[in-house]
């Protein structure tokens, strides 16, 4: 290749003794690629693609435990590493704030105290918790307690709405309607029940964590839903035998 052909191919034009680069045409500029610079006329967005933090994600599958002495309960270890929100459904006859092996503080968010029986239900939550690969959760000084625990990543866990409801000797119960303020909220519902071996819930919630009633504990169950579009919701819990039941529900924004 002669010198003139090389100069043309290299994208330079001669102006006598000085060589200058040709002007780039806008339609020949490639899209910006990280680490490769930016083309003429392009701008860089400071907002990452898909920003917004993603959706809520349950860490592991949660954990349940039932009392063996009728006054206290402690779970097996649960790997909560990466959690930004830990939510606990406690079932007993009085509200007792749970504790954990990392010293986190839990705030009562849904109070399912009722005037009959022992099947009460409560939702407690801890935002930005200290987490651990083998974290345990406990309640002491309660009456026939059971615990259901779920740890979530993906949001800051700002409390939004709550409600509760109870029945008397039937197989279904609703916690009462809530309408989340924003789309994409995490919705937690739980139930305390005294008879039967399982509890199920509708309205798109996941298969519940379940602790059946025992000789030293009330039955308890917990389920969650990430609601894509904010709308009123009032799920129905169903248990295997007619008994007193209390249901709770709470919602959390990211």
Kindly list the domain boundaries of the chain, sorted by start residue. Answer: 57-253
Nearest to 188 by CA among 203, 173, 198: 203
**E strands in the chain:** 12-15, 18-21, 57-58, 63-66, 72-74, 85-91, 99-100, 107-112, 121-127, 137-140, 146-153, 158-173, 185-193, 199-201, 209-211, 219-227, 237-253
Each residue's pLDDT tens digit in the chain (254 positions)? 554 444 444 444 444 444 444 443 333 322 323 333 323 333 222 222 222 335 999 999 999 999 999 999 999 999 999 999 999 999 998 889 999 999 999 999 999 998 777 789 999 999 999 999 999 999 999 999 999 999 999 988 999 999 999 998 899 999 999 999 999 999 999 999 999 899 999 999 999 999 999 999 999 999 999 999 999 999 999 999 998 899 999 999 99
Size of the chain, expressed as the number of residues it contains: 254
| Cα of 60 vs its chain's centroid, Å | 12
CA distance 98 to 63: 14
CA distance 140 to 138: 7
In three-state secondary structure terms, 116 is coil
Instruction: State residue 39's pLDDT score.
Output: 33
Tokens of 37: 């610079």
Instruction: State residue 119's pLDDT score.
Output: 84
Instruction: State residue 19's pLDDT score.
Output: 45
Instruction: State residue 28's pLDDT score.
Output: 33
Q: Is the dihedral angle over the CA atoms 50, 52, 55, 58 positive or is it negative? A: positive
Instruction: State residue 1's pLDDT score.
Output: 52
Instruction: State residue 94's pLDDT score.
Output: 83
In three-state secondary structure terms, 171 is strand
Beta-carbon contacts of 94 under 8 Å, excluding residues fewer than 6 positions away, are: 113, 120, 142, 143
**What are the angstrom distances between the C-alpha of 247 and each of 34, 85, 140, 234, 251?**
51, 21, 22, 10, 14
Instruction: State residue 83's pLDDT score.
Output: 98
Instruction: State residue 54's pLDDT score.
Output: 52
CA distance 141 to 236: 30
In three-state secondary structure terms, 118 is coil
């Amino acid at each position: 290749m002669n010198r003139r052909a090389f100069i043309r191919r290299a994208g330079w034009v001669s102006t006598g003794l000085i060589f200058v680069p040709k002007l780039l045409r806008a339609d020949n500029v490639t899209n910006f690629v990280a680490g490769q610079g930016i083309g003429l006329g392009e701008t860089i967005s400071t907002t990452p693609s898909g920003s917004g933090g993603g959706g809520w994600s349950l860490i592991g599958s949660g954990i349940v435990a039932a009392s063996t002495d009728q006054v206290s309960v402690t779970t097996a270890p649960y790997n909560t590493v990466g959690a930004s929100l830990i939510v606990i459904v406690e079932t007993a006859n009085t509200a007792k704030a749970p504790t954990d092996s990392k010293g986190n503080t839990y705030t009562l968010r849904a109070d399912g105290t009722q005037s009959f029986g022992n099947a009460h239900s409560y939702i407690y939550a801890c935002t930005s918790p200290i987490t651990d690969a083998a974290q345990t959760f406990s309640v002491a000084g309660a009456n026939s307690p059971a615990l259901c625990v779920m740890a979530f990543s993906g949001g800051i866990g700002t409390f939004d709405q709550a409600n509760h409801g109870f029945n008397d000797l039937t197989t279904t119960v609703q916690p009462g309607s809530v309408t989340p303020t924003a789309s994409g909220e995490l919705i937690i519902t739980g139930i305390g029940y005294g008879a039967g071996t399982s509890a199920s819930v509708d309205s798109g919630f996941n298969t519940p964590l379940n602790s059946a009633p025992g000789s030293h504990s009330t039955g308890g169950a917990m389920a969650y839903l990430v609601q894509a579009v904010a709308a009123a919701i009032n799920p129905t819990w169903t248990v295997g035998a007619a008994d007193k039941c209390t249901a709770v529900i709470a919602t959390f924004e990211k």
